[in-house]
Amino acid sequence: MSTPTETGETGGASETSETGGKTGKEQMTREVRRSSNSFLGDVWVNFKRWNIKAVRNPFVLVTSLVQPIIFLILFTQVFGAVATSAINTGGSGSITYETFLVPAIAIQVALASAVTSGIGLVNDIEEDVFEKVLVMPMNRAAVFAGKSAAEILRIVVQIAIILGLGVLLGAEIATGLAGAIGIMAIGLLFSVWFLAYSNILAVLTKDQESTIIGANILQFPLLFLSSAFLPLESLPGWIQVVAAFNPVTYGVDAARALVLGRDVMTVLEVSAFGGIWDTLIPTLLILAVLDLALGGLAVFLLTRATSSDAK
């Protein structure tokens, strides 16, 4: 038979074990709850992180903006007279080259800034930050969305600066403030596919040099083989063919339609919507499809990535 002391000790041990078990379960539950982040919460965390990173490295911000500003000033001052006669051939009105060029430079800002997106991801890979992100209880799509949102914010601000500078140089936006906001929105939509492309290069190559070369090797051909700097009808026939498959053409045409306040697209014959909408609706649809395709591929690669891929 057990003594009262033994019974008490056993009861106490049992009670302690039960209490400890409950405490352990409660702690595990709290830890699970802490790690069960919402999608928007994960987006916000990554959005803040990349904004802080950008502020701490202002050189990247300045570099991606200086080049388009140089293009805007040099092209308008050096080629302004010749280009103005070219864009007004055929009785298309009196459009200054500053007005014609501003939409192209706005799209160039989106391209130049998007190039740096993949470089930032490669830096994360090289510094083992990407490996830590992969093992976190965080939605991979939210990781890409938060990162892209931070970079898109920067692009929109830079496009606003270009529009302001363009107006100071003599450009006119026929649709006014609403048109300027629309151009920033078009720059946002346009930038997503190239942001995705830059990040795809980063995940596949895991090398900063390869990512820079792979992104920059497309940037200038895309710009010059489009309607960015001159009307397509004044360019060789083979360039007009390439321009029809060039995303920059659709981004520039959408922005230029808002600057001029009329239908400007020549690569596609659309007359179903009337006026400016014959340019805006087809171009925005094409850009949206491109964004979904490359954005989906970027998310897929991030989802498939493992910690060993980051090494």
SS3 for 226-275 is CCCCCCHHHCCHHHHHHHCCCHHHHHHHHHHHHHHCCCCCCCCCCCCCCC
- Give the mean model confidence (pLDDT) for residues 129-144: 75
pLDDT band at 292 (very low <50, low <70, confident <90, very high): very high
Predicted local confidence at residue 288, as pLDDT: 96
pLDDT digits (tens, 9 = 90+) for 29-59: 444 444 457 888 888 888 888 888 777 777 7
* 15 pLDDT higher than 80: no
pLDDT band at 256 (very low <50, low <70, confident <90, very high): very high
Report the C-alpha gap between 260 and 96 in whole angstroms. Answer: 11
- Give the mean model confidence (pLDDT) for residues 218-245: 89
pLDDT, the chain, mean: 80
Residue with tokens 């496009």: 159
DSSP state of 171: -
Q: Crossing angle for the helix pair 140-169 and 277-304, nearest 10 degrees?
A: 140
CB count, 10 Å around CB of 110?
Answer: 30
pLDDT band at 151 (very low <50, low <70, confident <90, very high): confident
- Give the mean model confidence (pLDDT) for residues 261-287: 90
Report the C-alpha gap between 66 and 92 in whole angstroms. Answer: 32
Q: Are 125 and 310 in contact (CB under 8 A)?
A: yes
- Gyration radius of the chain's alpha carbons: 27
Residue with tokens 């995303």: 247
